[in-house]
Amino acid sequence: MTVYLIRHGKIRGNVEKRFIGSTDEPLCETGIAELKAFEYPDCDRVVSSPMLRCIQTAGIIFPDKTPEVYDELRECDFGIFEGKCHAELDGDPVYMKWIANNGMTAPPGGEDVDGFRERCVRGFLRAVRENGDCGTLAVIAHGGTIMSIMERLAVPHKEFYEYITENGRGYKTVFDGEKLEIKGSI
């Protein structure tokens, strides 16, 4: 099965470089314009995170398809860092410890990193299993969600942050039931 993993369009929090995970922020005008200006490949079905920014992205890219929502594809909850940017948090000892650890621990009040990654992969595997009768599936999700899926399943294997992708962009892959073979970028 061909699977397109596409990150949602820009939101104000992306432009302002804020930690936006559980905040249900809509696309900004720039994000909408960028999505409309880019040509995306067609697909048979669309699945999406339940977050508004992903549902809106799916509607712009694939206006003739209704996305199936998978709760497991939502972004990580950044806890007390949610909605804040580096400049607002710089110097805070709790934040500095989190950054020094490359964000590999749960932020206070936020989601456990390993649990988040496992949830994303579980949701992806459920989505491809439940849509296995289609030839091409588009997954509209978040940067962290896509990086979690790719780190666990993509070949060649790379580390989490090596799979970062811009808003509105992503990967073309082929899923064989066990691994994602990268065929290009979107």
Please check whether residue 36 lies inside any domain of the structure. yes
In this structure, are residues 60 and 32 in contact, taking their beta carbons and an 8 Å threshold?
Answer: yes
Rounded-to-10 torsion of CA 76, 82, 87, 89: -100
CATH number at residue 36: 3.40.50.1240
Please check whether residue 93 lies inside any domain of the structure. no
Please check whether residue 107 lies inside any domain of the structure. no
How many domains, in total, are found in the chain? 1
Length of the chain: 186
Please check whether residue 68 lies inside any domain of the structure. yes
Q: pLDDT, tens digit, for every residue of 66-123?
A: 999 999 999 999 999 999 999 999 999 999 999 998 888 899 999 999 999 999 999 9
Rounded-to-10 torsion of CA 40, 22, 98, 84: 90
What is the sign of the dihedral through the CA atoms of 115, 120, 126 and 129? Answer: negative
Which residues constitute the domain of residue 152?
A: 2-77+112-185
Please check whether residue 102 lies inside any domain of the structure. no
Give the number of other CB atoms < 10 A from CB of residue 104: 10
Please check whether residue 152 lies inside any domain of the structure. yes
